[in-house]
């Protein structure tokens, strides 16, 4: 029987990507609100273009936030701090249009119901140590490395905007090799493409990707257009919530209808997606399945989910019905229960807005503290 060969591709972007600039500003504002008022409600959206950041949305909180100051601080931290780059923290116009949350929406949330309807998904796979798909795991590590070498001063020609893309080849469902890698990085006018390409291959790609996954057929694409001087919000308008697949599982698993950044934890778009990931990761770590996707859905103002779903893609070791029963018996899936489980009313959100919300140490939804309980169902 012939081998079944499948290619899976995922992408990531650096913190200087225009959409990620916006995500970081939105989550930095949320952190400032929660630092002053743990019950703050926030649905902040950000748009960025040449010389301008526009902050809009709804906020209800007993707090004062210098929104302009937060936006400029984030932009400066990223590395947009010189006019020559085309987007400069010191010469940035910040427009603000924030209103209070709708009292109609608040009626449901005030009684511990969901802040909106919708469906959320969480996923885990045992193909990596962090229980993430290999393609998105490597893509994030590449963009993080790209940022690290820039900020370390290893070279002086890299600029904040950048992207990665990784295509993994599977044979009969198992990781076989890396088929191709794409890195696009903003740079100054002075570096030659040959120097840039050699540096990226040796100090970013080969630094991150295990040598046993690369072979003489692996293709490296570095700045395929040959030039990437104009970047960031000067090169392309940025917007919050436009990198939702980068934020989650790289296209390997489903994504619900909502984005994350700028939203407080009463928004199940965010908090229930964190819970679904927590459940899926613990299910896989407990040996119930090699892969697991958990789906949750909610109705506005209603505390309990309207549906719970489990898909193990045929890798389950026990019946999926038994896995679902274990989930229902051991996880509090109400919005209040999720908030309490992860202690979400605190300023932890800006750290999530780069390099993925999942598969990284330090976030409470990445804990494996339900493994022993779930093993009993096996």
> How large is the average pLDDT for residues 255-283?
96
Long-range residue pairs from 372-376, CB within 8 A, at least 24 positions apart, any chain: 372/286, 373/330, 374/282, 374/283, 374/286, 374/288, 374/326, 374/330, 375/286, 375/287
Distance of CA 195 to the CA centre of its chain: 31
Question: Are the beta carbons of 271 and 338 closer than 8 angstroms?
Answer: yes
Confidence at residue 1, expressed as pLDDT on a 0 to 100 scale: 80
pLDDT at 102: 73
- H or E, element range at 67: helix 67-78
Residue 108 has pLDDT above 90, yes or no: no
- The region of weakest confidence among 42-56, 103-117, 275-289 is 103-117
Q: What is the pLDDT of residue 107?
A: 63
pLDDT on residue 301: 87
Q: Reply yes or no on whether the pLDDT at 345 is more than 90.
A: yes
Mean pLDDT score across all residues of the chain:
95
- pLDDT exceeds cutoff 70 at 105: no
d(CA 42, CA 28): 11
**CB–CB of 183/141 below 8 Å?**
no
Mean predicted confidence (pLDDT) in 103-117: 71
pLDDT of 110 over the 90 cut: no
Which pLDDT does position 257 carry in this prediction?
81
Alpha-carbon distance 262 to 362, whole Å?
Answer: 20
Can you give the pLDDT at residue 128? 97
pLDDT at residue 262 is higher than 90 = yes
pLDDT the model gives residue 340: 97
Residue 129, judged by CB atoms within 10 A of its CB (0-12, 13-18, 19+), counts as exposed
pLDDT one-digit tens code per residue, 10-19:
999 999 999 9
The yes-or-no verdict on residue 112 having pLDDT over 90 is no
CB count, 10 Å around CB of 295?
21
Report the alpha-carbon distance of residue 154 to residue 203 in Å, rounded: 10
Whether residue 75 contacts residue 89, with contact meaning beta carbons closer than 8 Å, is answered with: yes
Taking residues 341-364, report their average pLDDT. Answer: 97
Q: What is the DSSP letter of 265?
A: T
Q: Rounded to an integer, what is the distance from CA 210 to the centroid of its chain?
A: 23
Residue 111 has pLDDT above 70, yes or no: no
The answer, yes or no, to whether residue 201 has pLDDT greater than 70, is yes
Q: Are the CB atoms for 86 and 237 separated by under 8 Å? A: no
- Determine contact, residues 43/262, Cβ cutoff 8 Å: yes
**Rounded to 5 degrees, what are φ and ψ at 15?**
-65, -15
**Considering the entire predicted model, what is its pTM?**
0.96
Angstrom CA distances, 327 to 45, 294, 311, stand at 33, 10, 13
């Amino acid at each position: 029987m012939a081998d079944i060969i499948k290619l899976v591709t995922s992408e990531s972007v650096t913190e200087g990507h225009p959409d990620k600039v916006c995500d970081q500003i939105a989550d930095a504002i949320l952190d400032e609100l929660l630092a002053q008022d743990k019950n703050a409600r926030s649905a902040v959206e950000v748009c960025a273009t040449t010389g301008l950041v526009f902050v809009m949305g709804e906020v209800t909180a007993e707090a004062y936030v210098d929104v302009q100051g937060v936006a400029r601080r984030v932009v400066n931290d990223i590395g947009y701090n010189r006019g020559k780059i085309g987007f400069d923290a010191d010469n940035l116009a910040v427009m603000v249009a924030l209103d209070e949350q709708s009292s109609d929406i608040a009626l449901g949330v005030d009684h511990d119901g969901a802040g909106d309807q919708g469906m959320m998904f969480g996923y885990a796979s045992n193909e990596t140590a962090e229980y993430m798909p290999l393609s998105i795991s490597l893509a994030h590590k590449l963009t993080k490395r790209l940022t690290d070498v820039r900020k370390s001063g290893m070279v002086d020609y890299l600029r904040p905007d950048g992207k990665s893309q990784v295509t993994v080849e599977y044979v009969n469902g198992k990781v076989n090799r890396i088929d191709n890698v794409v890195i696009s990085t903003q740079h100054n006018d002075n570096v030659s493409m040959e120097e840039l390409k050699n540096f990226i291959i040796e100090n970013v790609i080969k630094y991150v990707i295990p040598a046993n996954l690369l072979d003489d057929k692996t293709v490296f694409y570095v700045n395929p257009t040959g030039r990437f001087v104009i970047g960031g919000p000067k090169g392309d308008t940025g917007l919050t919530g436009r990198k939702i697949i980068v934020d989650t599982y790289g296209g390997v698993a489903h994504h619900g209808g909502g984005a994350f950044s700028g939203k407080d934890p009463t928004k199940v778009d965010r908090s229930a997606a964190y819970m679904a990931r927590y459940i899926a990761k613990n299910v896989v770590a407990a040996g119930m399945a090699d892969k697991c996707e958990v789906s949750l859905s909610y109705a506005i103002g209603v505390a309990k989910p309207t549906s719970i779903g489990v898909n193990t893609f045929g890798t389950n070791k026990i019946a999926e019905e038994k896995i679902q029963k274990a989930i229902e018996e051991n996880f509090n899936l109400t919005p209040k229960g999720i908030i309490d489980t992860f202690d979400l009313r605190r300023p932890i959100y800006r750290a999530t807005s780069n390099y993925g919300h999942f598969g990284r140490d330090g976030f409470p939804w990445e804990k494996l503290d339900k493994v022993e309980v779930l093993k009993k169902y096996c």
